[in-house]
Amino acid sequence: MDRMLLKKMVFYGYHGVFPEENKLGQKFIVDLDLRLDLSRAEASDDVNDTINYAEIHALVKEIAEGPPVKLIETLAGNIATAVLGTYTSINEATVSVTKPNPPFDITFDGVTVELRRTRS
């Protein structure tokens, strides 16, 4: 299976457990690893035979900057469900969501949740 990767997409959302997160918002970083057959696009050199990554970015942006959820696990799951539901040619989607600045008094590069979902 071929891969299409969308790396380090940055969005500003209001997700989190704490009221301050829902009010002030913060940056979220999303990575997508999509598994699909790209041989038709390779042969035709036609954008209509592939998945338009600008459209996928817009879909992820709508979710990441949309109504808040408490957990980044839920955010990642919502993204995976939307991607697989919208693009039937995608067989598997791995979604990573990083919250680089969680509201804790600790120093690290953030917390990342990665979910892998396959078409049933």
Catalytic residues: 99
Query: For residue 52, what are the contacts with CB-CB under 8 A and spacing of at least 6?
Result: none
Rounded to whole angstroms, how far apart are CA atoms 28 and 45?
33
108 vs 80: CA distance, rounded Å: 26
Helix axes 72-86, 53-64, angle to 10 degrees: 140
Residue 52's closest CA among 93, 89, 98?
A: 89
